[in-house]
Structure 1
Amino acid sequence: MSDFFERYAKMRGEQHVQNLQYEGKIAAQIKTHRQQQKLSQQQLADLADLPKSTIGRIEASITSPKVDTLLQISKALNIPFIIDGTADQKDIFLKT
């Protein structure tokens, strides 16, 4: 964990920092898959029946998407949404 996250964890708690990191990983995966499919944020939003601003806020890690939003995005990108049942939370991902 970086020095910033270590200091932030002392203020907000380890679980809060881990949640932020997971959200960032999911956001990065969504952006990567969208770009791999050569889709604009607007095109993905149209396919997922979501506002473009929602896609932008998720990719910028400004908002935490709800499960139903993640499912809409995964369907639009034609990738499964998987939450692995293991104890290690790093296994939460959108799988190709």
Structure 2
Amino acid sequence: MGLDVLLYDKHDKLLEKFIIEEELHSEIFYRTNNWGSYQYLRKINDYYSPNLHLNLAEVELLKNDLGQYQIFVERKYSLKISDIIEKLSNQKIHRVHIVGD
């Protein structure tokens, strides 16, 4: 059980789909409560409620939250977060849709 992340271009064409895996989600949200200080991490903390649509400005805020949060997780998870940030940095992205189970 993970969060599906769908990246769309300005023509609403799907560029990429990836999953924030359950293991990483658990590391971020259940190991500490630090995530509560990050607005966009709070929006994806529950597997069952996210149906989140982000515009470009909001994608930048999510990337910032993820980048700042990396200090709170083990190195292997920090690398996974870096991968997510890299994917969210694709210049062709116009919007992002995050879907829970």
Q: TM-score, normalised by structure 2?
A: 0.37
* Higher RCO (C-alpha 8 Å, min separation 6): 2
Q: TM-score, normalised by structure 1?
A: 0.39
In our comparison, the structure showing a higher alpha carbon Rg is 1
Bigger share in strand: 2
